A and B are shown apart, each in its own frame.
Chain A
Amino acid sequence: MSARVDPQFLTEIKKYGAVNIEACFNCGNCTAICPLSTNGETFPRRIIRYAQLGLKEPLLSSKELWLCYYCGECTRTCPKQANPGEFMAAARRYAIASYDPTGLAKALYTSPILSAIFLVLPALLIGLGIYAFHGPMPTNALKLFDFIPAGIIHNFGVIGMILLAVLLLAGMVNMSIKVKGEKTPGVHHDWMRALWETLIEVLTQQRYQQDCETEADKPVWYLQKWFIHASTLWGFLGLLVATALDYGLEVLGIKATGTWVPFWNPIRLLGTIAGLLLVYGTSMAFVRRIRKSDATSTYSTISDWAFLILLWLTGVSGFLLEIALYLPQPGIWAYWTLLFHISAAGELLILMPFTKFAHAMYRAIAIYFHALKPVPVAEPAKAGAD
């Protein structure tokens, strides 16, 4: 393969972070210290090399970008303090921007003004839009879905979801085509197994837990990065499931959404626990970024903050709503909280393909391709062996 060296490429990636990566002298320390790097899928040095040489396609085809959980070991030990871990994060941002067909992700990452506008506008529009259809706010009993008719949420939701799905799919297909590479004829892959492994990894974050926290002086489990990350993820997934189940009950005609259920109701319980996990995870992530606890939380882009803040706001406002449901005399604030909650959640979903949120899909795809191993082909029986 011939390639053209393009020094501009590094400048491009540096727009997404990659503080000091030009200092890298390619010693390989980072790759050898990285607990997740393995032969055949080495990183970060090789990926840094792509960036230095301007090999854009190989970089964008690297599932390795997403196999890194940013433990920061490489950054801590890099003899040039070239910040390879931060480079990986920047390269992921660059990849998110490149897989996104709309160009919005790029704008969000690289232009503070555009991102500011884009961060406030959708939420405002959603809020105003829904408010335009709002109903009464009775204070004698909390009737959330009198205030905002479930149908409205439903309609907005469906339109949003379809749009989102198209964009997400575009990104995912974009990435998959690149990462998949050439198909070798005659080789079959065990995709069932790969899917299963991906599911397990996404749900348990095993690699993060076992490989990434290699530090001898690691803190208690609930302060560890993997737990903070996992609790955010579990919280998010839990809430998603709880909402879907709740909606499912309505579809089945068992009960209407948003009506009172005892707190021990399994769905409610799931929602409560998930909410707690989400708020804990995001709050801790906040604290780490504000304190710049270590190399991995030192550099934050606007997009990183936006994602975190929205998650946190959605979690906290959802929680307030739940409290309101159990209060004998909830105030008028409960209705405003609902409006806020829906706007924040809507914004979060809209931003999914364009912000750090997208890592959830891209990482899963990368893990899938990482787990995808050829099925060993049975040796054809040798005829007439002596």
Chain B
Amino acid sequence: MDNLRIDALIIGGGIAGMQSALDLADQGFQVALVEREPSIGGRMITLSKVFPTLDCCSCITTPKMSAVAHHPNIHLLTYCEVQSVREHGTGFDISILQKPRYVDVSKCTGCRDCEYECPITVPSPFDRNLGAYRAIRVPFSTAVPQKAVLDPEYCLWCGKCEQVCPVEAIDFTQQPETFNIEAASIVMATGFDLTPMETKKEYGAGKLHNVIDPLMMERFLAPTGPYGRVLRPGDGKEPTSIAYVQCAGSRDETLNITYCSRVCCMYAIKQAMLISGALPMAEITIYYMDIRTFGKGYEQFYQNAKAMGVEFVRGKVASIKEDSDQNPIVKVEMTDIGEIVERTHDLVVLSQGIIPASSPILRGGSTQAVSLPLGSDGFIYVPAPDSAPCVTERAGIFVTGTAMGPMDIVDSIISASAAAAEASAYIRENGNRVEAHKEALYA
């Protein structure tokens, strides 16, 4: 890989990162977008529909992914990780690791012949491990780039893919490579993870068969999902009674997460509506402490869900156990009537909250590649959140999307454009642009 000199490096290829990249590139800046996965698209490409409009997520995300891939001012660096960032004048020297795909991307056409031939099936994290793919594969049907990637952890090195590849793209000899980028500015769009549930033993510590996370439900509901329908992962049964446990991992000091994750009420309501469509006979209950419908059209959305028959029960679920048929049993005080109930459901979705993907909780406290001070909540610290929400403590580094804090897709996109505007102003001000202003090729 050749070294690059650019105006802005965007770290993270989810919806926020892509939007920032497109906004900057459209203004004629030279942009590189680094993504650690083999495809861009982030979390959003795995989701079913957006609230409150119920528009299809891939229909919004895929065009942006293609736009990023085809933009003349964007260098797309997938399957890459930022190793270190050093200040260099007013800009930055960034060292990037290109992980080996064992596939020559300049040759691969994405025909998937290798994938069809590969004898090894592995669980697919894209489908939250509910579905499976091969040890060599194009990550998912709408992946960008449409290039195969081989997983050395599972590969038998049997060579079958190499034999069938029509363009001889398979290259078992690939090694990790590092290269450097010189960038005038950086936008952090590193996204989120779900709050981990392993320490919440009252909720089964992640060990109950039919208690799932909300991203699994998104895969069940997505048209591209592993089964094309909603079922219980424990035994494949079609659930007739589904419960949502709100604030599972948010506003919970026992887990050290005191903030509200903002999106959980709305995604639970959205999923409840979609389930009502997919399983019209199913009974859906949402156990909540407060329903927070903060955005435009959200309250109406909530009222619609109620009108559709989704049951809302006020009370924090205290425990989830399992009966001998692996049915989860939820225990809660219905605080409106002051009654303790134990209810058996077929499937329980924990409305887990959002923690930063770079969270020390997940990385065992290891240092980040880009060292930025974090707030007490673990998200990237922003000194002036109410006047310059995307500006971090370090000059030239900006932050967007859920790396800033919990937010929904709409807000992620807004903040992405805001971060791009801040970065743009910064690059111009410091006058060290890579190239003179070019006409935006993509309007």
Question: Which residues of A does B touch, CB under 8 Å?
Answer: 25-33, 37-39, 42, 45-46, 76-81
Contacts and interface: CB of A to CB of B under 8 A. Distances in A.
Given A25-B289, A26-B335, A77-B202, A31 B340 contact: yes
Contacts of A29: 316-318, 333
Contact of A28 (B202, B251, B254, B335): B335
B254 A31 contact: no
B215 interface: no
Interface of B: 202, 247, 251-254, 289, 314-319, 331-335, 338-340
Nearest first, the 7 closest Cβ-Cβ pairs linking A and B are A28-B333, A32-B318, A27-B316, A33-B318, A31-B333, A29-B316, A79-B252
Contacts of B316: 27-29, 32, 79
Contacts of B340: 31-32, 37-39, 42
Contact of A79 (B254, B314, B333, B338): B254
B253 A28 contact: no
A24 B331 CA distance: 19
Nearest to B336: A28
Given A25-B289, A33-B202, A42-B338, A81 B253 contact: yes
A81 B318 CA distance: 14
B289 to A, nearest CB: 5
Given A32-B331, A33-B202, A46 B338 contact: yes
B253 A77 contact: no
Contacts of B334: 28
B351 to A, nearest CB: 14
A81 B333 contact: no
A45 B337 CA distance: 12
20 contacts: A29-B317, A29-B318, A32-B317, A32-B331, A33-B318, A33-B319, A33-B331, A37-B340, A39-B339, A42-B338, A42-B340, A45-B333, A77-B202, A78-B254, A79-B247, A79-B253, A79-B254, A80-B253, A81-B253, A81-B254
A349 to B, nearest CB: 40
Contacts of B338: 42, 46
Contacts of A78: 253-254
Contacts of A79: 247, 251-254, 316
A356 B316 CA distance: 33
A39 B339 CA distance: 6
Contacts of A38: 340
Contacts of A30: 318
A42 B332 CA distance: 12
Contacts of A26: 335
Given A32-B315, A39-B340, A79-B254, 10 more contacts: A27-B316, A28-B315, A31-B340, A32-B316, A32-B319, A32-B340, A33-B318, A77-B318, A79-B251, A79-B316
A32 B318 CA distance: 6
A203 to B, nearest CB: 28
A79 B259 CA distance: 11
Given A27-B289, A29-B318, A77-B318, A42 B339 contact: yes
Nearest to B319: A33
Contact of B315 (A27, A39, A80): A27
Q: Which of B317, B318, B331, B339 has the most CB of A within 10 A?
A: B318
B380 to A, nearest CB: 25
Contacts of B319: 32-33
A31 B253 CA distance: 17
Given A39-B339, A39-B340, A46-B338, A32 B253 contact: no
A81 B319 CA distance: 17
Nearest to A27: B316
Nearest to A31: B333
A380 B190 CA distance: 74
Nearest to A33: B318
A80 B260 CA distance: 12
B254 A77 contact: yes
- For B332, B334, B340, the residue with the greatest tally of chain A CB atoms inside 10 Å of its CB is B340
Residue in A28, A79, A81 whose Cβ sees the most chain B Cβ within 10 Å:
A28
Contact of A45 (B252, B331, B335): B335
Nearest to B253: A81
A91 B342 CA distance: 28
Contacts of A45: 333, 335
Nearest to B333: A28
Nearest to A75: B254
B190 to A, nearest CB: 27
B88 to A, nearest CB: 46
B332 to A, nearest CB: 5
- Chain B CB within 10 Å, residue with most, of A33, A39, A79, A80: A79
Contacts of B253: 78-81
B289 A32 contact: no
A72 to B, nearest CB: 13
